[in-house]
């Protein structure tokens, strides 16, 4: 079984903001897999589980089928680890079976970066997950949102919506991120990294 967690903040005021791109990937992946009709239906159709909104099902792989749980923590970004820990414990998963999807303002908008482990890079969601799991050895998929402009506080920047140019490239990146996650489930993290980290934006 695999667990894919997209990071973000609950509430309509955060929809479409840079910090919520992890939620957008989860919703797009659920639609791509045919579990929901459209990404915007996710929050209506998902179940309240693990302090979050979850949808589960099965995904075809080269080896047959894999059970998959998609999860959006509803704890707010800084407490994301609470939701992740609850799901990990319930299904008795290892950190290697977890994929965290998040925004990264150190990367150009739309750039994907997959890693099998690593530091939080200052991201508050990852910091809390590391605290709750007691390890940094879990896969993560970062999606670039562009560095913040000078003199704009980071907290303000990540909670703003994308400008039209960013929105276009991020939408394309969300589609690629779904492909990267499917590849990870089917062929493993090394194969996903080799294919999707190498794409030139």
Active site residues: 19
Secondary structure element (H or E) that encloses residue 48, with its range: strand 47-49
String of DSSP letters for 21-75: HHHHHHHHHHHHTTSSSSGGGHHHHSEEETTEEEEEEEEEETTEEEEEEEEEE-S
CA distance 124 to 113: 18
Distance of CA 83 to the CA centre of its chain: 13
Strand blocks (E) in 62-131: 64-73, 98-104, 112-115
CA distance 144 to 172: 12
Using DSSP bridges, classify how beta strands 64-73 and 2-6 pair: parallel, antiparallel or unpaired.
parallel
């Amino acid at each position: 079984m695999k667990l894919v967690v997209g990071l973000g903040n609950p509430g309509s005021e955060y929809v479409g903001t840079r910090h919520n791109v992890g939620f957008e990937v989860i919703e797009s992946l659920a639609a791509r897999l045919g579990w929901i009709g459209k990404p915007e239906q996710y929050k209506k159709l998902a179940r309240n589980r693990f302090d979050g909104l979850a949808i589960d099902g099965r995904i075809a792989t080269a080896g047959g089928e894999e059970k998959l749980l998609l999860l959006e923590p509803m704890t707010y970004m800084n407490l994301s680890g609470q939701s992740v820990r609850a799901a990990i414990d319930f299904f008795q998963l290892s950190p290697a079976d977890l994929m965290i999807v998040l925004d990264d303002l150190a990367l150009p908008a739309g750039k994907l970066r997959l890693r099998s482990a690593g530091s939080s890079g200052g991201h508050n969601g990852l910091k809390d997950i590391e605290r709750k799991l007691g390890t940094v050895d879990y896969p993560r998929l970062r999606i670039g949102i562009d560095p913040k402009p000078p003199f704009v506080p980071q907290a303000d920047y990540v909670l703003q919506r994308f400008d039209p140019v960013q929105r276009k490239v991020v939408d394309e990146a969300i589609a690629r991120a779904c492909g990267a996650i499917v590849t990870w489930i089917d062929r493993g993290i090394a194969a996903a990294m080799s294919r999707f980290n190498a794409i030139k934006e």
